[in-house]
Structure 1
Amino acid sequence: MRTYSGVVYPANCDAMGHMNVQYYVAAFDQAMWHLVHALGYRTDWQREKGQGWADVQHNVSFSKELSVGSLFYVESSVSNVGGKSLTTHHRLFNMDGELCASDEIKSVYFDLTARKGLVLPDVIKFNAENLLAAS
């Protein structure tokens, strides 16, 4: 599922002339929010229920540089559904369809007040398992 699209601006580049690591991670983080929204999570749950997400692990791999003006997109999928967590896989491509980077993220569904993991809501678990089965 396509979860994010972007463009590389000069301010996104480092001294080596390519997009800096922090902006790859930012794109993956934004893609994650679009993915969990598609699975049924709503941002108003943060205010109304005090529930959200805590990333506990990122495994990022880089394979092709992006430079100023590059257009890119992220496709995301679910790779594991736990009791309290989701493991998701995000792939960032340039507009020629070449893989530039990937990130596997483990995110825990989280009580924002108690600062501890919660069981995944049924709607999220159901939709995540269906997406996993379809891939």
Structure 2
Amino acid sequence: MSEPAPLDLHRESVRPEWIDYNGHMNVAYYVLAFDHATDAFLAYVGLDDAHREATGGSVFAADSHVTYVREVGEGDPLRIATRLLAFDPKRVHLFHEMYHAGEGYLAATSEWLILYVDLNTRRVGVMPDAVQQRLAQVEATHGKLDWPQQAGRVIKVPARQQA
């Protein structure tokens, strides 16, 4: 079975309480919306509440980066496309693209590195084989996509040229 690439697992609308003093969605809520999309992906591959309760295994975010492309405002419908960039037995590397679901424009992107953690020891552990097999199924399709332009970006101020 071929996986959709990217996955379309999460949609929501910009809530009134997410609007800041500039009249658009506040940066914190972009992260929240991307976190909702991450949760949807994790459930899709079997890292859901039932998994956590049965195994004591969960995931922690180790790193994330957001790029802001275009504003969204109160009530705007959002669609977040998710792709798996890579994984190994202990880590998952995801990339999300947030689109205005009505107008279709790219609003923001977010890249995440997620660690699998044994909640009993609070240490990084190895994901169960069934989860790794599920991730491999997704990666087989998602690995054929072009690498996202915003993935792996470094934040920096360009060096000034000497006169």
Give the TM interval when normalised to the shorter protein.
over 0.9
Determine if the alignment matches structure 1 residue 134 to structure 2 residue 162: no
CA RMSD of aligned residues (A): 1.2
1:25 to 23, 28, 31: 31
Determine if the alignment matches structure 1 residue 90 to structure 2 residue 92: no
Gaps spanning 5+ residues in structure 1: where?
A: none
Amino-acid identity (%): 25
Q: How far apart, in 2, do the equivalents of 1:93 and 1:124 lie? A: 28
2:10 to 4, 19, 31: 4
Gaps spanning 5+ residues in structure 2: where?
A: 1-6, 143-163
1:51–1:112 contact (8 Å) kept in structure 2: yes
Determine if the alignment matches structure 1 residue 108 to structure 2 residue 115: yes
Of 58-67 and 120-129, the range deviating more from structure 2? 120-129
Under a length normalisation based on structure 2, what TM-score does the superposition of the two structures give? Answer: 0.78
Determine if the alignment matches structure 1 residue 59 to structure 2 residue 65: yes
Residues 33-44 of structure 1 aligned to structure 2 (within 5 Å): 33-44=39-50
Q: How far apart, in 1, do the equivalents of 2:134 and 2:50 lie? A: 19
Aligned position for 1:79: 85
Larger Cα-atom Rg: 2
1:62–1:100 contact (8 Å) kept in structure 2: yes
2:126 to 96, 119, 123: 119
| SS in structure 2 at match of 1:126 | helix
More strand by share: 1
| SS in structure 2 at match of 1:67 | coil
Aligned length in residues: 135
1:19–1:68 contact (8 Å) kept in structure 2: yes
Under a length normalisation based on structure 1, what TM-score does the superposition of the two structures give? Answer: 0.94
